[in-house]
Amino acid sequence: MTIIAGVDEVGRGPLAGPVIAAAVILDPDNPISGLRDSKKLSEKKRQELSLIIHECAAGFAFGRAEVEEIDQLNILQASLLAMQRAVEGLVLQPEHALIDGNHAPALNCKVTTIIKGDDKEDAIAAASIIAKVKRDAEMLQMHDIHPQYGFDRHKGYPTKLHIQALQQYGVTEHHRRSFRPVKEILLDRQ
């Protein structure tokens, strides 16, 4: 039987925080019901499924790209790097990786990209769920350090609240300086 890993990332769109990717190898003898794109699940359901995935998957690993890497490489390359790190972090190495989207990281196995793969493949859905739960938890920790930005509500995405906080309080070390709204605030303050 071919060992297949599903791979997805979260955090491409936010103005702050890392990109986090996950790679998941599901156990065919231990199926998990209810897997789907993490964006289509409630926060409570994501957290429940994340615990089940951690318990039932044959293997999983996380990879990340930090804000500095995002600013240095660009968001696409940083996302691919995070995915590559997730797959390389698996103890059980896959023979085939199913990647959400239409860009693939460089891997030492067969790779298939699947647009909207988190809705089509359970392993990719599982990866999207655990990556989202992990990133959201990190954004809550960031909120504890910088409560005035509202990271607990928007998780770093460019909401009206977040833009207003950036304009009022300035840019933190967690913000992506290469992203236009952040870059514009930095230029305004020069």
**pLDDT tens, position by position, 150-163:** 999 999 999 999 99
pLDDT greater than 80 at residue 92: yes
pLDDT per position as a tens digit, 65-89: 999 999 999 999 999 999 999 999 9
- What is the average pLDDT value for the chain, to the nearest integer? 96
Q: Is 13:80 a contact under the CB 8 Å cutoff? A: no
pLDDT greater than 80 at residue 93: yes
- As a whole number, mean pLDDT of residues 103-118 equals 96
pLDDT score at 38: 87
Share of the chain above pLDDT 90, in %: 94
pLDDT score at 187: 87
- Which 3 state secondary structure label does DSSP give 58? coil
pLDDT greater than 80 at residue 190: no
Phi and psi at residue 42, to the nearest 5°: -70, 160
Q: How far apart are the first and last CA of the chain?
A: 59
- How far from 165 is each of 5, 20, 145, 147, 182, CA to CA, in Å? 39, 24, 14, 10, 11
- As a whole number, mean pLDDT of residues 165-173 equals 94
- As a whole number, mean pLDDT of residues 87-115 equals 97
- As a whole number, mean pLDDT of residues 175-187 equals 93
pLDDT score at 37: 85
